[in-house]
Chain A
Amino acid sequence: MTRTGTETVGQRLASAGLGALTALVLLFLVAPILIIVPLSFSSGSFFYYPLPGFSLRWYRDFFTSSFWLPSVWNSLIVGSVATLSATVLGTLAALGIWRARFPGQALVLALLISPMVVPVIIIAVGVYFAFAPLGLTDGYSGLILAHTTLAVPFVVVTVLATLSGFDRTLIRAAESLGASPVTTFRRVMLPLILPGVLSGAVFAFAASFDEVVVALLMAGPGQRTLPRQMFAGINDNISLTITAAATMLIAISLVLMIAVGLLRRRSERLRQLDA
């Protein structure tokens, strides 16, 4: 199993077989994404290879379409407001949970994380059931509230993980030097946990930006988000414009993924600094 030079033929075969299987599975994971990207640059209108030529017509189509373009704005509006509120609420709550044990804390934490656990269809149907009679489904508000709920656990979990590595003596040091609690938080604590807070925000945005079930039930014609339109785009007659939309979403995911990676690295560096 390890390279000791004394492997038998059987071992080498098993090892090669494992390697081949892994390669196939990784291909299976990545291939659909790799196949859809070139298709979006096709000058033809068919879903197969080889491509007849290169063109940006599907991107032009996307950016001039009254079906797709408004949905990008809707996604951005809902995503950014939901991210902002989830990050503020979630960070405060994580700080509270980290700060001291209070009675019923485990239960409270379980409740705050539960939107990640409950099947999203139940959340969507429940929120629709309660918000529709209140008129919250007519504008952005219902969708934003629901997306905030869905995004909150990601912030709480990420910030709590960052705080678990935070050295409490730093606070004691700051306060013994005469800093007020607010100054201590702003000048000592926040800079150190900021990478964690920001990766929480990235997760929150990704959660909202990818959400389709709630949008499917709640969004009126004026609030349809990008995933909601993709859902409709698959069901109706599917055109290559959807691959352009998908390619751009893949690019956004890559950016978000890299952002989290960088933030994580920065957070680890900060941790080493204060150790």
Chain B
Amino acid sequence: MLRTAVAAGQAAAATANAGAGGVNLRQALRRSQRREQWRAAALVLPLFIFVAVCFVAPIGAMLARGVIDTDIAHILPGVTTALKAWDGRELPPDAAYAALVSDIHAAREAGTLASAATRLNYDVPGFRTLLFGTGRRLPPGISGSARDILIGIDPKWGERETWVAIRRAGGPVTDFYLLGALDLRRDADNAIVGAPSEQRVFRDVLGRTLWISGVVTLICLLLGYPVALVIARQPPPRAALLLFLVLLPFWTSLLVRTVAWVVLLQKEGVLNSLFLSLSIVHEPLKMIFNRFAVYVAMVHVLLPFMVLPLYSVMRGIPPAYLRAASSLGAPPWTAFRRVYLPQTIPGVGAGCLMVFIQALGYYITPALVGGADDQMISYFIAFYASRTVNWGMAAALSIMLLGATLALYAVYNRLIGVERMRLG
């Protein structure tokens, strides 16, 4: 920077003094600026590489699993190729049957049949049994028509849907998981239809995630607005103390706060024993592992994110505005509604977006204090990644969550600016 400034100074002086030498000096200035840019970029480079390798690449590779589908093409290459040319109206040609037989033999030898069975089973329940059963009963050498042999082993090989499922899984790109995350699927004629009602789960999960996040945001706004209002009107020392009370939970470990709520709300916990001893209730209230506990714990965690932006906006509103409104005859409520409230809207927007965005991705709190019907989308991402190891489904749900989060952040950035995000 220094060099730039010196060069600029020299350039300016030179242009003033010697007119004609200005062109050369301008080039020198540009060169020195470029050098400065390179230095700056070189300082950023180590972290840039680190984030690219340890953050962007892993997440990108994982998300790609939601749209890229190459397992079947690798494990059953012959039949995948043979089905490419098939129009899908009638049963596939004999060549496809023969290719499947040799593919199954090869996959059994390579030990990869299980992966193919798992992938096809996602699409058509029962496919695993079909593929394994066929693999076991297939004679080593084929004499006669492969079609007759396969249909003889299992009549499902005589159904168009079975073959369509294999073709659908042939990749390399698929919308199977993304559609699945919306409870949609493709039927035998490749049209998008709703999944059978007993298999529909994700619309519920997505709706519930939005609903819980919305309710939590609303509660945070209703509780946070008056609190920020009161704190903003205190003299500085007392405001600092009250802000400390808001910040204390903000700094306390998420796990600690969740533990605290479990201790307070559980059946033999602090609140129930208090209520029982005061005879407010006669049997313990069920306050945990339900939606109530999720709301309470999430509001507790996210409330500071609402209070802080509201407070900093309210702090900047000169009290003279309200006095002016009153002196012009506005009753207090009107003065508040017409003069004060509109000026706090940026804080309301910032707080609500911040709380809503964070609530969308919540995992730990609902997992610990919620019941089975209170789990949000993150829970299912973790479930598919670690329990059933269905990366395609985990990735598709991640794409939805990430898409929603980034879109809302873009709004936040547009309205407020990410650089004004507060820490602590």
Query: Which A residues are closer than 8 A to B by beta carbons?
Result: 1-2, 10-11, 14, 18-19, 21-22, 25-26, 28-30, 32-33, 35-36, 39, 46-49, 89-90, 92-93, 95-97, 99-103, 108, 110-115, 117-131, 145-146, 148-149, 152, 154, 156-158, 160, 168, 171-172, 175, 203, 206, 209-210, 212-213, 216-217, 227, 230-231, 233-235, 238, 242-243, 246, 249-250, 253-254, 256-257, 260
- B245 near A30 with CB under 8 A, answer yes
Which A residues touch B223, using CB under 8 A?
Answer: 21, 25, 28
- B418 near A125 with CB under 8 A, answer no
Q: Tell me the B108-152 residues at the A interface (CB within 8 Å).
A: none
Which of A35, A110, A126 contacts B260, CB < 8 Å?
A35
Which B residues touch A129, using CB under 8 A?
Answer: 58, 61-62, 65, 385, 391
Q: Is B411 an interface residue (CB 8 A)?
A: no
- A108 near B300 with CB under 8 A, answer no
Q: How far is the CB of B10 from chain A (nearest CB, A)?
A: 13
Q: Is the interface of B mostly helix, strand, loop or mixed?
A: helix
Which of B59, B249, B259, B363 contacts A243, CB < 8 Å?
B259
Q: Tell me the B362-400 residues at the A interface (CB within 8 Å).
A: 363-364, 368, 378, 381-382, 385-386, 391, 394, 398
- A257 near B248 with CB under 8 A, answer yes
- A126 near B273 with CB under 8 A, answer no
Q: How far is the CB of A47 from chain B (nearest CB, A)?
A: 5
Which of A14, A49, A99, A212 contacts B255, CB < 8 Å?
A212
A11, A96, A146, A230 pick with most chain B CB within 10 angstroms = A96
5 closest pairs, A vs B, by CB? A119-B361, A96-B43, A130-B58, A32-B260, A48-B273
Query: Which B residues are closer than 8 A to A by beta carbons?
Result: 1-2, 4-6, 33, 36-48, 50-52, 54-63, 65, 223-224, 226-227, 229-231, 233, 242, 245-249, 251-264, 266, 268-270, 272-274, 300, 303-304, 319, 322-323, 326, 332, 335-336, 360-361, 363-364, 368, 378, 381-382, 385-386, 391, 394, 398, 401-402, 405-406, 409, 418-419, 421, 423-424
- A149 near B55 with CB under 8 A, answer yes
- A49 near B249 with CB under 8 A, answer no
- Bound-state CA distance A100–B43 (Å) is 11
Chain B residue, CB-CB nearest to A125: B385
- B405 near A30 with CB under 8 A, answer no
- Bound-state CA distance A124–B50 (Å) is 16
The answer to whether A231 and B54 touch (CB under 8 A), given A29-B246, A102-B37, A238-B262, is no
Which A residues touch B251, using CB under 8 A?
Answer: 206, 253-254, 256-257
A-B contact pairs, 6 of them (CB 8 A): A32-B300, A95-B43, A121-B363, A124-B382, A152-B51, A168-B5
Given pairs A92-B46, A129-B385, 17 additional interface contacts (CB within 8 A): A2-B322, A21-B227, A39-B270, A47-B263, A47-B273, A100-B36, A101-B40, A112-B44, A118-B405, A119-B361, A122-B402, A127-B58, A152-B47, A168-B1, A210-B255, A217-B386, A250-B252
Which A residues touch B332, using CB under 8 A?
Answer: 1, 10-11, 14
Q: How far is the CB of B306 from chain A (nearest CB, A)?
A: 11
Which A residues touch B229, using CB under 8 A?
Answer: 18
Which A residues touch B303, using CB under 8 A?
Answer: 25, 29
- Bound-state CA distance A238–B260 (Å) is 12
- Bound-state CA distance A152–B46 (Å) is 12
- B264 near A172 with CB under 8 A, answer no
- B227 near A230 with CB under 8 A, answer no
- Bound-state CA distance A146–B55 (Å) is 8
- Bound-state CA distance A44–B247 (Å) is 32
Q: How far is the CB of B412 from chain A (nearest CB, A)?
A: 9
- B423 near A157 with CB under 8 A, answer yes
- Bound-state CA distance A119–B62 (Å) is 14
Chain B residue, CB-CB nearest to A175: B2
- B245 near A123 with CB under 8 A, answer no
- Bound-state CA distance A175–B424 (Å) is 36
- A48 near B47 with CB under 8 A, answer no
Which B residues touch A230, using CB under 8 A?
Answer: 255-256, 259
- B46 near A99 with CB under 8 A, answer no
